[in-house]
Amino acid sequence: MSIHRLLLFVLLMLAGVSCAKRNGLRQSVAADKPRGPVLSENQEIQLKSAFMEAHRQKMQGNHDEARKHFEACLGIVPQHAASLYELASLDVQRSDYRSAIENLQKATAIDRNNKWYSLSLAMLFENTKQYDKSADVYLKLIKNEPGEAAYYESLANMYILQGDIKKALKVYDEMESRFGVSEMVNTQKQRIYMSLGKTDEAIEEAKKLIEAAPGTARYYNNLADLYNKSGNTAMAVKTYEKLLEIDPENSSVQLSMAVYYLEAGEKEKARKTIKTAFENPELDIETKARLLLNNIAYKDVPKGSVNPFAFELAQAMIDAHPNDYRGFAIKGDFHAQLNQKDTAIDLYVESIERDNNQFAVWNQLMFLYTDLERWDELQSKSSTAMTLFPTQALFYYMNGLANAQKEAYREAIDAYIGGVDYVVDNPAFKEQFYINLADAYHNIKEHEKSDMYF
């Protein structure tokens, strides 16, 4: 059961409390009276009192006491559906699903028109993987309320969970016939047809969405994707071109065309379209980064190199998203890859100025400062990093190293001692801490402490 449906199920099981408050307990009692014996005035008072006390105990979290009082209600009126429903909700809270099902079945048998009882039972069957029984309940709900689309959707889901795809398709067809074309239904039908290898049928479903809403760009994108999967690249191209006519500034359209040109090997068209997409601030930077790193930066270049076009795209990302750290970090990575360390440092600094919680960027920065022996900056930046990441041993080590190089041995010792206990599962790194500590103590002529760490 999905989190959404489970939450709905719990809310349904708790609905008895709110319904009782809203409608009054007399109404709950009165609704059950025709199926039981005629109650005396004293019995009515006892029933109402027991039901109210049961709810009070339940609201206070005294579930055992609440159960006793709901059972007392059943002692007065054995067919008191509201009490059976409440007992089921208590059963669910202690994961006694068998008892919950029994109580809900009794409640629904007594009050067949109460859809909340039936919905709770259907979801409980689903939660216990009794999908066929859940489907039966939804069929009854549909019979009572044929205009409620959610019941059809749930019924189709139960058939899918049973592996009965044909029945699910029939339900979706009925939904389409009754309620018209909808994105949810037609998308589900597409998925089913694709899972069955029936691409042509999936394409027809995609076309229905376009006919229903011809100005919706994502429907064209979906159709083009299906054409691509079926190997019909000619129709995919036509669909993409139509897509651009509808919404030439749409970032997802630009990206779809760019990916298509890449896969088709049309490099010049791909470059132009990709550049346009990357310059568009409406296309999210995460999507751009994924495309850049997975499909462009390291393609068709020797190992250890970066595609020159990647630098243009990284700069386009920076220009389109000047306040986002990722464009600077990615371009910094490219320069670092080519051993252009000073430029990489400048970009990494720009990156952490926009978001200083990026450990990976700080990490790269530390090593580049070390490689270039830029000790002043390493000392300053590692000190900041120690504050931001107080349990990361690397930054203490780098701070100690920078201070030692500047002959600030006391500060180096403080850094090494402060960070060594944060080294986890790395004996070699911990040993290096101790070696550097020994060396720092040696330099201030505290030889006894130096010998202790060697």
In this prediction, residue 35 carries a pLDDT of 54
Running DSSP on this structure, what letter comes out for residue 359? Answer: H
In this prediction, residue 454 carries a pLDDT of 67
Contact at 8 Å (CB) between 117 and 111? Answer: yes
pTM score: 0.57
Whether residue 254 is contained in a domain is answered as no
In this prediction, residue 437 carries a pLDDT of 93
Whether residue 389 is contained in a domain is answered as yes
Whether residue 212 is contained in a domain is answered as no
| Residue 403, domain extent | 372-454
What's the CATH number where 413 sits? 1.25.40.10
Whether residue 158 is contained in a domain is answered as no
Whether residue 434 is contained in a domain is answered as yes
Longest alpha-carbon distance in the chain: 101
d(CA 209, CA 181): 7
Whether residue 424 is contained in a domain is answered as yes
Contact at 8 Å (CB) between 169 and 189? Answer: yes
d(CA 103, CA 86): 9
Whether residue 336 is contained in a domain is answered as no
Question: Which value, in Å, is the radius of gyration of the alpha carbons in the chain?
Answer: 34
In this prediction, residue 148 carries a pLDDT of 95
Whether residue 415 is contained in a domain is answered as yes
* Structural domain count of the chain: 1
Q: What is the pLDDT along the chain (454 residues), one digit of tens a residue?
A: 443 454 445 445 554 434 433 343 333 444 444 455 688 889 899 999 999 999 999 999 999 999 999 999 999 999 999 999 999 999 999 999 999 999 999 999 999 999 999 999 999 999 999 999 999 999 999 999 999 999 999 999 999 999 999 999 999 999 999 999 999 999 999 999 999 999 999 999 999 999 999 988 889 989 999 998 998 988 988 898 888 888 887 777 788 778 778 777 888 888 998 999 999 998 899 999 999 999 899 988 898 899 999 999 999 999 999 999 999 999 999 999 999 999 999 999 999 999 999 999 999 999 999 999 999 999 999 999 999 999 999 999 999 999 999 999 999 999 999 999 999 999 999 999 999 999 998 999 888 888 787 6
In this prediction, residue 13 carries a pLDDT of 54
